[in-house]
């Protein structure tokens, strides 16, 4: 393990976008300027962008960095498909799925995540994501919380230790959010990637559950913090069409996983 970390395995950072160049610029700038771990590549998946500012940003970074790739996919938005396609271009031993509304604030974030992700028994690695006001946006996903699954400890203070120290120490969870999720590529391939029937919602939960079936552990590292400006790019599920789509994907998950969604073995409902 020590030797493998010393060899700095390459990380492929996959970021889907649609315009919102100012948000994407903040993300990219922080990745390149605030990340101590240097052996990474960025694969930016451009899905139906149309604004000139976006194209100028992508050209700027492509000309500036030789580890910056662009994959353009002109199709309906399908988060699972976009990421599965991007993985085909990935040269890294590890895959980091990242939203474009993430900002790095901890220089050692990727070093720590890699140290966990390369361990044989670990599937997905997540971290503590914070709103701009430093309240918790994500620190683990609990099955059956608020529906099929939900984020726990929202919006606790950044420095709150949480129940039994869960916001201060690494803990196993059923799932972590794909807003920032690291996994070895060989494990990704072992479970055949993301389920493309889940186009927008719950695809990360499904992904994590498939890893649990393979006896891997998914872990959240609350000692690692990044900002997450949630849903700025795609918006919330507020329209009738979006609500109907979410309901369909929720039903798909319930049919696929059935009783496994009723009880989270990593978190007691008595603590909700």
Euclidean distance between CA atoms 52 and 259, whole angstroms: 48
Euclidean distance between CA atoms 169 and 118, whole angstroms: 19
Euclidean distance between CA atoms 100 and 79, whole angstroms: 13
Ramachandran area for residue 3 (φ above 0: left; ψ -120 to 50: alpha; else beta): alpha
Contact 209, 174 (CB under 8 A): yes
Euclidean distance between CA atoms 151 and 169, whole angstroms: 17
Whether residue 4 has pLDDT greater than 90: no
Euclidean distance between CA atoms 186 and 198, whole angstroms: 22
Q: Are strands 11-17 and 40-46 parallel, antiparallel or unpaired?
A: parallel
**Mean pLDDT (whole number) for 35-56:** 97
Q: What is the pLDDT of residue 272?
A: 67
**Mean pLDDT (whole number) for 230-246:** 67
For residue range 90-127, list pLDDT tens digits in order.
999 999 999 999 999 999 999 999 999 999 999 999 99
For residue range 138-195, list pLDDT tens digits in order.
999 999 998 899 999 999 999 999 988 999 999 999 999 999 999 999 999 999 999 9
Q: What is the pLDDT of residue 6?
A: 60
Q: What is the pLDDT of residue 270?
A: 77
Q: What is the pLDDT of residue 235?
A: 47
pTM of the model: 0.94
Q: Please, how many CA atoms are within 13 Å of residue 32, restricted to the half-sphere of its CB? A: 15
DSSP string, 168-195: TS-EEESB--TTEEEEEHHHHHHTTSS-
End-to-end alpha carbon distance in the chain: 37
Euclidean distance between CA atoms 168 and 171, whole angstroms: 9
């Amino acid at each position: 393990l020590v030797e493998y970390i010393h060899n700095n395995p390459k990380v492929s950072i996959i970021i889907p976008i649609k315009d919102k160049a100012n948000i994407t610029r903040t993300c990219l700038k922080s990745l390149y300027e605030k990340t101590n771990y240097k052996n990474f590549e960025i694969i930016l998946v451009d899905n139906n962008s149309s604004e000139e500012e976006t194209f100028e940003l992508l050209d700027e970074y492509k000309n500036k960095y030789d580890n910056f790739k662009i994959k353009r996919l002109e199709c309906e938005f399908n988060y699972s498909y976009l990421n599965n396609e991007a993985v085909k271009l990935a040269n890294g031993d590890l895959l980091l799925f990242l939203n474009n509304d993430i900002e790095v604030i901890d220089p050692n974030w990727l070093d720590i995540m890699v140290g966990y992700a390369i361990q044989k028994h670990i599937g997905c690695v997540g971290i503590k994501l914070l709103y701009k006001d430093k309240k918790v946006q994500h620190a683990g996903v609990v099955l059956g919380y608020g529906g099929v699954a939900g984020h726990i400890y929202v919006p606790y203070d950044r420095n709150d230790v949480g129940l039994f120290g869960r916001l201060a120490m690494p803990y196993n969870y059923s799932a972590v959010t794909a807003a920032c999720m690291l996994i070895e590529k060989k494990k990704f391939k072992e479970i055949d990637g993301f389920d493309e029937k889940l186009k927008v919602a719950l695809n990360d939960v499904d992904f994590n559950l498939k890893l649990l079936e393979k006896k891997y552990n998914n872990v959240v590292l609350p000692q690692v913090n990044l900002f997450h400006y949630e849903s700025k790019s795609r918006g919330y599920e507020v329209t009738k069409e979006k609500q109907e789509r979410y309901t369909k994907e929720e039903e798909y998950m319930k049919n696929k996983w059935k009783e496994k969604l009723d009880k989270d073995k990593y978190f007691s409902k008595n603590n909700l």
